[in-house]
Amino acid sequence: MNKNRLGSSDLYVSEIGFGTMSLPRDEKLALSIIDEAYERGINFFDTADLYDQGRIETVLGKALKGKRDAVIIATKGGNHWEAGKPGWYWDPSKAYIKKACKDSLKRLGTDYIDLYQLHGGTIDDPIDETIEAFEELKQEGYIRYYGISSIRPNVIREYIKRSSIVSVMMQYSILDRRPEEAMLDLLYENNISVIARGPVAKGILSDHGLAKIPEAGYLDYSKGDLEILIRNLKEQTNPERTLSQTAILYSLAHPAVATAIPGTSRMAQLETNIAAIEAPPLSQKELKTIKNLSHANRYEQHR
């Protein structure tokens, strides 16, 4: 599998990454899916301390034991929670970020995290304090690099100006083209990579997507809009690909994007995700067609 450099770092991540949020509860099955992903060439595994209150980090650590030098582990912090207690709150303070990182290290069973990410962020945060936490963790050897997970343009701009982030994780798909408005080009110009999450848009952009459309629609698409769009995408893109594979390739098309992390809860999903990069590439004509069929969403908040 092709690997792309993550921003200005020396991390080279597989084009298809592995997102752990939707891993099955059955630990044996979860471990087997992660192992298969590794065997098929995926080296980038993304998780977060919030996922099932740390349980997913523990599962990922077990799965990658003995493979540590060959994989890139990314996790996230900033949502303050306590084991055994319901709920959480946002806490980007230096003290909490540093504590959360060390707790993640224990659950993952590793001495360092390759990419540590702020799991959100607002313009009202103590941004300099948060950056200081990441820089200290880096200097102390607990993390190699850091990034943020955010779709807020105003927050992203501040981190570009004030920090040494190497990546921004953001939702990006045919149905959510908001990053195209202002962020993708800016990040590319600053040598900061995008980690594209949700490229299949909760399964809506799949061959069974018509059955997965919520009654309320998705973002600024109505249910009816989505039904028409899915049919048109299937009719006007290469039939040698599944719709989900076309969607994944779309999210990888911009040069700012280093890796796409579609959800993986079943072995069959993993197969489909990996097959995307083995499928015929998107032509420039198809890219233009997809952009004409869909629409360029706009950020209406946090501008």
Kindly list the domain boundaries of the chain, sorted by start residue.
3-293
| Cβ contacts of 291-295, under 8 Å, gap ≥ 24 | 291/177, 293/229, 293/232, 293/233, 293/236, 294/174, 294/175, 294/177, 294/229, 295/177, 295/220
Catalytic residue among 38, 51, 116, 146: 51
CA separation for the pair 254, 252 (Å, rounded): 6
Query: Does the annotation count 89 as an active-site position?
Result: no
Q: Is 116 helix (H, G, I), strand (E, B) or coil?
A: strand
From first to last of its 303 residues, what are the pLDDT tens digits of the chain? 899 999 999 999 999 999 999 899 999 999 999 999 999 999 999 999 988 877 999 999 999 999 999 999 999 999 887 877 778 788 999 999 999 999 999 999 999 999 999 999 999 999 999 999 999 999 999 999 999 999 899 999 999 999 999 999 999 999 999 999 889 999 999 999 999 999 999 999 998 899 999 999 999 999 999 999 999 999 999 999 999 999 999 999 999 999 999 988 899 999 999 999 999 999 999 999 999 999 999 887 765
* pTM for this entry: 0.95
Residue 302: per-residue pLDDT: 64
Pair 170, 183: CB distance under 8 Å? yes
What pLDDT does residue 50 have?
A: 84
Q: What is the pLDDT of residue 54?
A: 78
Fold of 3-293: TIM Barrel (3.20.20)
| C-beta neighbour count of 164 within 10 angstroms | 16
Per-residue pLDDT, 197 = 96
